[in-house]
Amino acid sequence: MPNEQETVFFMSSTFKGSTMLRAVKEMGCYVLLLTEESLRDEPWPMDVIDEIFYTPDLARYRDVIHTVAYLNRGRQIDCIIPLDEFEVEIAAMLREHLLLPGTGVTQTRRFRDKLMMRHAAHKADIPVPKFVGVKNYDDLRDFMDDVELPWVLKPRSEASAMGIRKITEPEQLWRALDDLGDNQSYYLLEDFLPGSVYHVDSIVVDGEVVFVTPQIYGAPPMQVYQGGGVFTSRVLPPASDDATSLRAMNERVIHTLGMQNGVAHTEFIKANADGEFYFLESAARVGGAHLSDLIAQATGIDLWREWGRLEVAVMRGETYRLPMVKQQAGGLLMTLAKQQHPDLSGYDDPEVVWRADKAYHAGLIVVSDKFNRVDALLDAYSQRFAQEFMTSADPWGPQRTGAN
């Protein structure tokens, strides 16, 4: 390996991020990837990966630290990047263990621990749903007395809607905590606010948001994840009141949580009861469910690619420059499909710019200069997807905790 090449070490327990790997390689870096044995046969972009390593389980933190420390003996690792939510914390631990630059453990947890980020937001006067950590039963009983049912029991460090339970009666909560046993302190209890869920995706450079795009989901992600359905997201008109409010609130969240350089996927809910926005959570990663593909099609900004370019620029002490941004209306539809290879040829409107290529999934992205045209297509296509493709699967499989 040439000494003048910086070495960037990626890690992921999910197949994703190929565009980022390519971007980093194009910038002249030596690319390493650590992934899990179960992903050995995935189509990783081997033409840009200089070395790839496999481990049984990236959630076994001590084993991962030993593995990376061993690899570092013969390779000077300069930068560590997690491609998936589950590796954000171990990547921070490795940076501190190897004395590498980048976000450390405490800072990372503010984008990983839902209880910690709620405390920080509440302290900064950013509206959040009423909440309490499952730490002290007297505090828990006070919350139960003060906040009307239903409530939401959430894991503090899981991704997206994994592990969330809706609580409709007090006894249901106590039984759920009995089931969790010693793991219950890894949860929080929150007021259930009916409303519309939005997400804001950002690129942050030197603590400032340099790119932002607000979108609104169709059905809330928790509802789709747990009950099935057609997942949709659409770009908000940039001059709309909602988009303006979300951009401002997103900046406050980013500054409060202290991100310096990276990408963020932040979710908010607009409560039906008062029409106000409340902060839900933020993650230091690219949004999943093909949201990055929608953003790339509608704005011309590939978040995976730009994240890679930003990380290399920071590593080299160079100035990162955002490419030209376009602003079009765009929408995404995704659903689990009963067919192994759904036939999407009947969706042939000129606004269709992307089709999913994954077994047992149906998905489309539409882009237009007119926001009402995208709305009309998503509404019509959602009904057709439900009739032609939609199926469901049990969401409660084995879950990652990130524990040692």
Looking up residue 182, the CATH number of its domain turns out to be 3.30.1490.20
Same domain for 254 and 158?
no
pLDDT of residue 224: 67
With respect to residue 398, please indicate whether it lies within any of the assigned structural domains.
no
Same domain for 92 and 18?
yes
With respect to residue 122, please indicate whether it lies within any of the assigned structural domains.
no
With respect to residue 98, please indicate whether it lies within any of the assigned structural domains.
yes
With respect to residue 115, please indicate whether it lies within any of the assigned structural domains.
no
- Out of 191, 221, 238, a domain closes at 191
- The CATH number of the domain holding residue 22 is 3.40.50.20
Same domain for 71 and 159?
no
With respect to residue 146, please indicate whether it lies within any of the assigned structural domains.
yes
Classify residue 115 as exposed, middle or buried by CB count within 10 Å of its CB (0-12, 13-18, 19+): buried
Same domain for 183 and 203?
no
Q: List residues bridging with 390 in a β-sheet.
A: 337
- How many CB atoms are closer than 10 A to CB 49? 17
Instruction: Give the model confidence (pLDDT) of 277-327 as tens digits.
Output: 999 999 999 998 899 999 999 999 999 999 999 999 999 999 999 999 999
Same domain for 187 and 299?
no
Grade residue 391 by pLDDT with cuts at 50, 70 and 90. confident
Same domain for 209 and 88?
no
Instruction: Give the model confidence (pLDDT) of 361-384 as tens digits.
Output: 999 999 999 999 999 999 999 999
User: What range does the domain containing 185 cover?
Assistant: 130-191
Same domain for 341 and 249?
yes
Grade residue 219 by pLDDT with cuts at 50, 70 and 90. confident
Same domain for 285 and 384?
yes
With respect to residue 294, please indicate whether it lies within any of the assigned structural domains.
yes
With respect to residue 109, please indicate whether it lies within any of the assigned structural domains.
no
Same domain for 184 and 201?
no
| Total count of domains within the chain | 3
Instruction: Give the model confidence (pLDDT) of 153-201 as tens digits.
Output: 999 987 656 689 999 999 999 999 999 999 999 999 999 999 999 999 9
Examine residue 150 and say whether the peptide bond preceding it is cis (omega within 30 degrees of 0).
yes
With respect to residue 26, please indicate whether it lies within any of the assigned structural domains.
yes
pLDDT of residue 202: 98
Same domain for 323 and 374?
yes
Same domain for 338 and 303?
yes
- Out of 151, 167, 191, a domain closes at 191
Same domain for 172 and 200?
no
